[in-house]
């Protein structure tokens, strides 16, 4: 992605000279010959470097102060060009927001080298130390710039799912290595015209052309699944899932990491701002996200009519299999007060397919029969209940035995009701996401 330099100078000959010196494949230079158009360019492009001359009637120091105030959330490099060589003028300009001051006439080579040095330091300052990519603020700036262009583009919203669980299970050092590996794969798949940055620790954004966007998404999902197995211990690979540790997450079954990619383009829709395109990407991402495997989904023209997709209703239904009558009444009452729709079932039998719950709470049963564990396994084998979350409570202190049935969480008895409520809230949100 090119950096953007704005030259505010009404002198045609000198501004053209400065533009020729700085224009390159890595730096796009825009010249503004009046203040009104300069303000619009600043708002639309959010330039990395702004060069201001004293060719206007405005006081140069006041002008630098105004530009700095206008760009307080962008923090561009501001360089002042002046016909004055007076030391006090320089001090005044620097105190009012400029980062550098040059007296004209300037040496062409010195001017070019100094401006490139400013751009280099500016770019280096925005890089994340782990993956050496531009962070969220600069990525939002890159999106905004792209939206103001007329050429076709595609944006890929790339996330590593279950990343926090992986970090909890394998430490931050391992999760950093996973991030670095995947970012290196993505970077190697792009060319010099593409943009690659971060929106958060485990969410990347790529801006590329529409022609190669699907091919790129397909390759990146395949590549992630191909390398991710190398980041697990052998016993987790054999088991097929991770078991989280620590006071907060102890007993939680967690799926392996996978990558979800959503793709939106300006082929079918013209986006007016950054918020709109990001909301679209997140919506597509939520539809694309599968439980256990990497996947991608590309924005297509919307089809109205009988084949159109309707949003699923919010599901807050909870089934409770609990042999302790007093505890089942307590759970039912508390969960009702929290706004959930609950149903107590006294027999360990497969729930009706007509009413699919978002969550099932199952007591494991006695040590010999293990009725609850058998029921959990049956439910998880049933296609209709693929998305339903299951919490298994038990006096059996064998975490792996419980989780091997397909349970999403093992909660040993006796448990803290407040902790259960917290898990219920998390799982209901996960189901409806």
Stretch among 44-48, 76-80, 336-340, 384-388 having the lowest mean pLDDT:
336-340
Extract long-range pairs of 23-30: CB within 8 Å, 24+ residues apart. Answer: 25/192, 26/2, 27/2, 27/3, 27/116, 27/119, 28/2, 28/3, 28/4, 29/4, 29/5, 30/4, 30/5, 30/6
Q: Quick one: pLDDT at residue 257? A: 94
- Mean pLDDT over each residue of the chain, to the nearest integer: 87
Shared domain check, 179 and 287: yes
Closest Cα to residue 266, out of 205, 196, 208?
208
Structure tokens at 32: 């503004």
The pLDDT of residue 114: 92
Helix/strand/coil (H/E/C) assignment for every residue in the chain: CCEEEEEECCCHHHHHHHHHHHCECCEEEEEECCHHHHHHHHHHHCCCEEEEECCCCCCHHHHHHHHHHHCCCCCCEEEEEECCCCHHHHHHHHHCCCCEEEECCCCHHHHHHHHHHHHHHHHHHCECCCCCCECHHHHHHHHHHHHCCCCCCEEEEEEEECHHHHHHHHHHHHHHHHHHHHHHHHHHCCCCCCEEEEEECCEEEEEECHHHHHHHHHHHHHHHHHHHHHHCCHHHHHHCCEECCHHHHCCEEECCCEEEEEEEECCCCCCCCHHHHHHHHHHHHHHHCCCCCCEEEECCCCCCCCCCCCCCCCCCEEEEECCCHHHHHHHHHHHHHCCCEEEEECCCCCCCCCCCCCEEEEECCCCCCCHHHHHHHHHHHCHHHCCCEEEEEECCCCHHHHHCCCCCEEEECCCCHHHHHHHHHHHHHHHHC
Does residue 166 sit within a domain?
A: yes
What CATH code is carried by the domain that includes residue 21? 3.40.50.2300
Give the per-residue pLDDT at 304.
41
> Tens digits of per-residue pLDDT, 15-60?
999 999 999 878 889 999 988 888 888 888 889 899 999 988 788 8
Residue 307 domain-assigned (yes or no) = no
pLDDT in tens, 198-210: 999 999 999 999 8
Domain assignment present for 306: no
User: Given this model, what pLDDT does residue 1 score?
Assistant: 61
196 and 104 assigned to the same domain: no
Residue range 362-413, pLDDT digits in tens: 998 877 788 899 999 999 888 889 889 999 998 878 888 889 999 999 988 8
d(CA 211, CA 193): 13
pLDDT digits (tens, 9 = 90+) for 166-177: 998 898 999 999
Provide the residue range defining the domain that includes 178: 136-298
By C-alpha distance, which of 38, 90, 88 is closest to 67?
A: 38
Q: Per-residue pLDDT tens for 266-311?
A: 887 889 889 999 999 999 999 898 878 899 999 876 544 343 334 4
pLDDT at 73 over 80: no
pLDDT of residue 162: 93
Q: Is residue 62 part of a domain?
A: yes
Q: Are 358 and 395 within one domain?
A: yes
| Mutual angle of helices 35-45 and 136-147, in 10-degree steps | 120
Structural domain contains residue 311 = no
Residue with tokens 């931050």: 172
Q: Are 151 and 275 in the same domain?
A: yes
**How long, in residues, is the chain?**
433
Let me know whether 322 and 422 are in one domain: yes
Q: Would 70 be classed as within a structural domain?
A: yes
Q: What is the largest CA-CA distance in the chain?
A: 92
Q: Which of 250, 270, 298 is the last residue of a domain?
A: 298
Confidence of residue 312 (pLDDT cuts 50, 70, 90): low
Cα distance between residue 236 and residue 255, in whole Å: 10
Per the DSSP assignment, residues forming a β-bridge with 318 are 342, 359
Q: Which of 303-307, 313-317, 343-347, 374-378 has the highest mean pLDDT?
A: 374-378
Strand partners, 298: 263
Same domain, 175 and 210: yes
Answer yes or no: do 169 and 270 share one domain: yes
How far is the C-alpha of 428 from the C-alpha of 389, rounded, in Å?
8
Q: What is the CATH number of the domain that holds 256?
A: 3.30.70.270
Residues 65, 109, single domain; the answer is yes
Domain identity same for 259 and 149: yes
- In this structure, the answer to whether residues 10 and 77 fall within a common structural domain is yes
pLDDT(248) > 80: no
Task: Domain count for the chain, please give it.
Answer: 3
Give the contacts of 269 (CB within 8 A, at least 6 positions apart): 280, 299
């Amino acid at each position: 992605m090119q950096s953007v330099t704005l030259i505010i100078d009404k002198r045609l000959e000198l501004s053209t000279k400065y533009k020729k010196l700085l224009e390159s494949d890595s730096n796009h230079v825009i010249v503004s010959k009046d203040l009104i158009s300069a303000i619009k360019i600043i708002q639309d492009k959010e330039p990395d470097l702004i060069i201001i001359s004293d060719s206007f009637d405005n006081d140069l120091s006041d002008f630098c102060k105004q530009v700095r105030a206008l760009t307080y959330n962008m923090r561009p490099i501001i360089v002042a060009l002046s016909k004055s060589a007076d030391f006090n003028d320089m001090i005044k300009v620097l105190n009012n927001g400029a980062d550098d001051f040059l007296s004209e006439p300037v040496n062409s080579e010195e001017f070019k080298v100094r401006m490139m040095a400013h751009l280099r330091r500016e770019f280096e300052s925005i890089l994340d130390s782990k993956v050496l990519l531009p962070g969220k603020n600069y990525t939002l700036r890159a999106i905004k710039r792209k939206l103001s262009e007329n050429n076709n583009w595609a944006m890929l919203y790339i996330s590593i799912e279950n990343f926090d669980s992986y970090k909890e299970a394998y430490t931050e050092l391992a999760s950093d290595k996973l991030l670095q590996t995947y970012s290196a794969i993505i970077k190697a798949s792009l060319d010099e015209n593409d943009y690659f940055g971060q929106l958060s620790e485990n969410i990347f954004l790529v801006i590329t052309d529409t022609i190669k966007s699907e091919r790129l998404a397909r390759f990146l999902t395949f590549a992630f699944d191909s390398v991710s197995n190398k980041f697990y211990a052998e016993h987790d690979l054999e088991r097929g899932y991770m078991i989280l540790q620590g006071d907060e997450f102890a007993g939680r079954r967690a799926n392996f990491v996978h990558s979800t990619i959503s793709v939106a383009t300006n082929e079918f829709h013209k986006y007016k701002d950054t918020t709109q395109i990001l909301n679209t990407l997140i919506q597509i991402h939520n539809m694309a996200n599968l439980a256990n495997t990497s996947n991608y989904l590309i924005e297509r023209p919307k089809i109205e009519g009988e084949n159109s997709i309707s949003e699923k209703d919010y599901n807050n239904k909870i089934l409770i299999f609990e042999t302790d009558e007093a505890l089942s009444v307590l759970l039912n009452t508390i969960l009702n007060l929290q706004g959930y729709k609950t149903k107590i079932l006294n027999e360990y039998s497969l729930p009706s397919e007509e009413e699919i719950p978002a969550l099932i709470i199952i007591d494991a049963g006695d040590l010999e029969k293990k009725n609850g564990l058998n029921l959990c396994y049956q439910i998880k084998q049933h296609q209709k209940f693929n998305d339903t979350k299951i919490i298994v409570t038990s006096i059996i202190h064998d975490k792996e035995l419980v989780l091997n049935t397909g349970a999403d969480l093992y909660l040993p008895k006796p448990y803290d009701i407040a902790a259960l409520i917290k898990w219920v809230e998390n799982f209901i949100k996960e189901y409806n996401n």
